[in-house]
A and B are shown apart, each in its own frame.
Chain A
Amino acid sequence: MIRTQAILLKNGRIIDPANRVDKKASLLVEKGKIQAIFSPRQKTPSLPKKLQSIDLQGKWIVPGLIDMHVHLREPGEEYKETIETGTKAAAAGGFTAVACMPNTTPVNDCQSVTRLILEKAENAYARVYPVGAISKGLQGESLAEFGEMKQAGAVAVTDDGKPVTDSQLMRRALEYASNYNLMVISHSEDYSLSRNGAINEGFVSTSMGLKGIPHIAEEIMVYRDLALAEYTGCTLHLAHISTKESINLIRLAKQKGSPVTAETGPHYFSLTEKAVKDYNTNAKMNPPLRTQKDLEAVIKAISDGTIDVIATDHAPHSILEKDLEFDQAANGIIGLETAVPLALALFRKGYINAARLVELLSTNPAKILGVKGGSLEIGSDADIAVIDPEHSFVLHEKDIVSKSKNSPFIGVKLQGKALLTICGGRITYNAISD
């Protein structure tokens, strides 16, 4: 356990869209809180004697990043990831909080599992927000105990990994969750269209002889869930949006004033289906990587506000699930350690400004989940990420902190990196002293 200490982050660029701040300033962390923010011209507040002072010329100081969609695999699949290793990877990626999906073994569908996760997370490297299941055992048949899970600490419910096929169950989930102010997160997939599919359906699937997952498999369910949200008036969050038409549907729903939010993953704006070339199972995921047209629509949605959040869908798998024939390999890629450079690519290309980047990765997920963080409010818990937007590096497998190494970005040159992560005043990751 690292003791909290006084830290002075000097002369960085403070970007805090929640408080409409974007300025060169220093930030003082003391007793786990953000004590002061002051510009070079302002009077320096009285500083504690024992102080770690870090010069951050040219670096960004932003609210700790929040990944609202990760799979920590504990309990049940600790050989892929644990709460400890997963949050360590989160810290290395600039994240101070993660929301973990319920498809563990056992499923997080009752308060005892929610509690177990939170107990294990007490000494973790990031705040852990459990997301409970919508249906008992993720079976899609009957509602899990939302109230008790909420009381135990769950922040949302989802059957992520699987769609809720039964529309009536999804409707009841939206209605019932509203009693507890729980966000319902939808994994939108028409399973009858996507079943046994391996990659996006199109020329690539045809030429590789792989069963395709048509984009309509996502869009049909996005439409259903938007219709249910509008009909019931209940809030809804759509996970891992990957197609152009899904985005059009969400844009329309938002124009009508429906209480919906949506996320996409960094891979959906960084890669297309072509990444599965030569049967690379590290580019196999669900929803699958799509076409250039979809990628462009995702980027547009990120810049115009249709997409609210970038969440990684961090899905660790060991080589036991990935070093296989393509159709046999598991879906999913890790994402915590590559989200910052991939999102920064959008910034560098001019699609989003720095404030929007922070909104997507911190402010908005905090708001949607109703959790602390997402801003650099004086007096609030010191959850902070320091980002060097210029730092270039090639991602090497040996440098990956996550227990699993299933990333399609291994060997790829990336630009931008979290250098320092502070969670509740504790330094959880520090690459500056290196």
Chain B
Amino acid sequence: MSSEHLFAHKHILGLDHLSVPDIEHILNTAESFKEISRRSIKKVPVLRGKTVVTLFFEPSTRTRLSFDIAAKRMSADTFSISASTSSTTKGESLADTAKNIEAMMPDIIVMRHPSSGASNYLANRINTSVINAGDGTHEHPSQGLLDLMTVKEHKGKIKGLKVAIIGDISHSRVAHSDIIGFSKMGANVFVSGPATLIPKKISRLGARVCTTIEEAVNNADVVMPLRIQKERQSDPLIPSFREYAAFFGINREILKVAKPDALVMHPGPINRGVELAPDVADGSQSVILDQVTNGVAIRMALMYLVLGGT
């Protein structure tokens, strides 16, 4: 690989645990793997004979498919378990489920779980490598990394860029990983949204909090609206999606205050017309589908690196 860095992580639980050289090394590795997906024969034998289990306790299309494709392009064998088909519906604990899977000797468990810290919990109890595919409102490291990769690809750098993250910061593991990741790599992260959705002391993670989205988006290099998560609305957080779209939605008008070549990103799935206007989502500044493409490369890199690849 291009870098001499020794990558010593057995698990990928969050960007919080990764150093700047670790992140650079992952991005470089992913970049070199990206080309594999463009070949007519999209398969390399790097992880032949390795077993990857994806264990998803929350619905997911993109992330799960992305890990699955990534593993298969590396020639690993993949197996999927989801909450509805697993023994947890029979009352089996997470620890037992994991230990039973471990007993079948997979090499990597990729897990998504509604509880924050669930991946840490798993990593503390089993010997298999754990890759966090999203835990509660904690972290979503592969998403954070693919966002870094996408920005680096388009802008040639990350350091010094202004990144505006708009919306539900409180309940977004993507926002947490992005704030940590972009700040670590030297970008200036600004967040804005309804005050009900801005968590306490988020500034200590590295983000500047803006009361208006204009302030956050002003002169930004990257504008990233987050999904308003209907499934998490147990508190009285916002009165209506209509009002949200009017005051916090990203549309043509607000995008004018950003840099002319600002990138529009979104972790998906999009609530079109709520946090992001359809014409912006499909517009020339949108790199949303590049994010998805890069997701496969990042996940290939992560699986390769946790199994000792260099």
Contact = CB atoms under 8 A, between A and B. Distances in A.
Contacts of B204: 203, 206-207
B200 interface: yes
A352 interface: no
B201 A278 contact: no
Interface string B260-280: 000000000000000000000
A318 interface: no
Nearest to A196: B234
Interface in B99-119: 113, 115-118
B116 A208 contact: yes
Contacts of B116: 208-210, 279, 326-327
B247 interface: no
Contacts of B79: none
A210 B117 contact: yes
Contact of A325 (B16, B117, B234): B117
B176 A325 contact: no
Contacts of B196: none
A207 B115 contact: no
B138 A325 contact: no
B77 to A, nearest CB: 28
A205 interface: yes
B205 A206 contact: yes
B173 interface: yes
Contacts of A206: 199-202, 204-205
A201 interface: yes
Interface in A175-206: 196, 201-203, 205-206
A323 B16 contact: no
A116 interface: no
Given A325-B117, A326-B121, A328-B115, A209 B139 contact: yes
A266 interface: no
Contacts, number: 68
B117 A326 contact: yes
A208 B17 CA distance: 12
Nearest to B13: A278
Given A278-B124, A324-B93, A324-B94, A209 B117 contact: yes
B115 A327 contact: yes
A64 interface: no
Given A209-B135, A278-B120, A279-B120, A326 B201 contact: no
A323 B136 contact: no
Contacts of A214: 200
Interface centre among B16, B116, B135, B138 (most CB of A within 10 A): B116
A212 B201 CA distance: 12
B8 interface: no
Given A207-B16, A325-B94, A212 B200 contact: yes
B95 interface: yes
A203 B124 CA distance: 23
Given A207-B205, A209-B173, A209-B176, A327 B200 contact: no
A214 B200 CA distance: 10
A412 B146 CA distance: 41
Interface residues of A, number: 21
A389 B176 CA distance: 46
Contacts of B135: 209
Contacts of B139: 209
A327 B136 contact: yes
Interface string A275-305: 0001100000000000000000000000000
Contacts of B16: 207
A208 B117 contact: yes
A209 B138 contact: yes
Contact of B115 (A205, A323, A325): A325
A217 to B, nearest CB: 13
A327 B121 CA distance: 12
Contacts of B234: 196
Nearest to B170: A206
A289 to B, nearest CB: 16
Interface centre among A203, A209, A324 (most CB of B within 10 A): A209
A287 to B, nearest CB: 17
Interface in B160-211: 173, 176, 199-202, 204-205
Contacts of A196: 234
B202 A325 contact: no
A383 to B, nearest CB: 43
A312 B116 CA distance: 28
A285 to B, nearest CB: 16
B173 A325 contact: no
B137 interface: yes
Contacts of B124: 278
Nearest to B116: A209
A325 B137 contact: no
B202 to A, nearest CB: 6
Nearest to A325: B115
B17 to A, nearest CB: 11
Q: Which 5 A-B pairs rank lowest in CB-CB distance, beginning with the nearest?
A: A209-B138, A325-B115, A279-B117, A209-B116, A203-B201
12 contacts: A203-B200, A205-B199, A206-B204, A210-B116, A210-B117, A210-B137, A278-B117, A278-B120, A324-B121, A326-B115, A327-B116, A328-B115
